[in-house]
Amino acid sequence: MIGKSFNSIFSGFSTDLAMDLGTANTLIYITEKGIVLNEPSVVAIGVDDNSIEAVGLEAKKMCGRTHSRVNTIRPIKDGVIADFDVTNRMIQYFLKKVLNQYRFFKPRMVIGVPTCITQVEKKAVIDASIMAGIREVHLVEEPMAAAIGVGIPVHRPEGNMIIDIGGGTTDVAVISLSAIAYGDSVRVAGDEIDESIVRYMRLQHHLNIGVFEGERAKMQIGSAFPQPGTLTTEVKGLNVKTGVPMSITISDEEIREALKEPLTTIIAVIMRALEKIPPELSSDIHSNGIYLTGGGALIRGLDKMIEEKTTLKVFIPEEPLLSIVKGAGAVLNDFSNMKKVCIN
């Protein structure tokens, strides 16, 4: 009882937060301020003394360009913590950056996590957050947060399907009555899509490129469905036959070929979900369509590909990358009514 009273007092003085702790990017929302941080989930560590050299955007710029005394680390892999210590330090850095100063009253935080997260992985997220200075941690599954973020009335007794394609995982969920009635997750998403471009360039053009060069090509000309006209971009890397740096021009058709395998896997997860849900929820989804969120939603024509395979209408929100953190923020803002969507 006393503990609850202290928590109530603390909540009146602290700045509460919502976080999308993503494989590719970390986003933070603050009550009454909105989204205050959107940076890559990358940390540069000094090898000699384990010191932090850079975090976020500055650390990402260093990827592939460091010397032997500095390592760049992505501590979140497949949507969960892969390096506990580095994740803890990254969260601390971001919190200090957005709060501007250390506060006596520690904040409460709502964090989005993948549907496939294990109990051990949940504990790692909670422990890393508490060690970083958070008073109280609440977890919400990412597709639930994304659904709330795009404005789906999740409390109603009707089915809504959401597909969230992040950096590490693709989550497919059917939501009804403030819970996930059906959920599936596959660890094929933005990172695997970027890697598929790297593999394609090596196999088809004997060009060894970095994963961030693959990501850039995806963002510039990547598409899942044929587009009007032809898009091209220059890709730079190392010729594996000659060992000499070179660049070539590739087309959107080649990127589509490179993306075929990971996108086929994602489509299979969607089709499996549609096959397994009860008829009543299936009828709702036929009426309501499918919502596509996350960075993967920005791949040109992916909505059309899903529509062709499922015969259902696909909707993409205006800012699909922000759906999870917006939804987590909405939970935070109306916590007494929305806490039922949390999984801890």
- CA–CA separation, 260 and 252 (whole Å): 12
Closest CA to 169 of 11, 17, 21: 21
Task: Tell which CATH classification among 3.30.1360.120, 3.30.420.40, 3.40.50.720, 3.90.25.10 matches the domain 151-187+270-317.
Answer: 3.30.420.40
**For residue 283, what pLDDT is reported?**
96
Q: What H or E segment, with its residue span, contains residue 310?
A: helix 302-310
For residue 311, give both structure tokens. 């015969």
**For residue 158, what pLDDT is reported?**
95
**For residue 99, what pLDDT is reported?**
82
**For residue 106, what pLDDT is reported?**
80
Q: What H or E segment, with its residue span, contains residue 189?
A: none
Task: Let me know the angle formed at the C-alpha of 64 by 60 and 66, rounded to the nearest 5 degrees.
Answer: 90
Tell me if residue 46 falls in helix, strand or coil: strand
Say if CB 111 and CB 325 are below 8 A apart.
Answer: no
- CA–CA separation, 226 and 2 (whole Å): 62
Judge if 151-187+270-317 and 190-258 fold alike in CATH terms: no
Strand segments (E) across 240-303:
245-251, 290-293
Q: Which CATH architecture has domain 2-145+324-341?
A: 2-Layer Sandwich (3.30)
Cβ-Cβ contacts under 8 Å for 298 (sequence gap 6 or more)? 219, 320, 321
Burial of 68 (0-12, 13-18, 19+ CB in 10 A): exposed
Tell me if residue 56 falls in helix, strand or coil: coil
Tell me if residue 71 falls in helix, strand or coil: strand
- CA–CA separation, 344 and 342 (whole Å): 6
Tell me if residue 338 falls in helix, strand or coil: helix
The percent of the chain in helix, strand and coil, each rounded to the nearest 5, is 45, 25, 30
**For residue 103, what pLDDT is reported?**
56
Name the pairing type of β-strands 17-21 and 108-113.
parallel
Residues written for the chain? 344
Average confidence (pLDDT) per 10 residues, the chain, 344 residues: 48 74 94 92 93 94 90 90 91 86 72 87 90 90 96 95 94 95 93 96 96 94 91 95 95 96 97 95 96 96 96 96 96 92 91
- CA–CA separation, 98 and 101 (whole Å): 8
- CA–CA separation, 317 and 137 (whole Å): 28
What are the extents of the domains in the chain? 2-145+324-341, 151-187+270-317, 190-258
| pTM of the predicted model as reported, rounded to 2 decimal places | 0.89
Tell me the one-letter amino acid at 183. G
- CA–CA separation, 85 and 136 (whole Å): 19
For residue 45, give both structure tokens. 């560590």
Say if CB 46 and CB 53 are below 8 A apart.
Answer: yes
- CA–CA separation, 243 and 236 (whole Å): 13
Cβ-Cβ contacts under 8 Å for 148 (sequence gap 6 or more)? 154, 326, 327, 330, 331, 338, 341
- CA–CA separation, 96 and 103 (whole Å): 9
**For residue 114, what pLDDT is reported?**
85
What is the CATH number that goes with domain 190-258?
3.90.640.10
Rg (CA), the chain: 21
**Residue 103 backbone phi and psi in degrees, to 5:** -115, 145
**For residue 166, what pLDDT is reported?**
93
- CA–CA separation, 245 and 208 (whole Å): 9
- CA–CA separation, 38 and 284 (whole Å): 34
**For residue 80, what pLDDT is reported?**
84
Dihedral sign computed on CA atoms, order 170, 174, 178, 179: negative
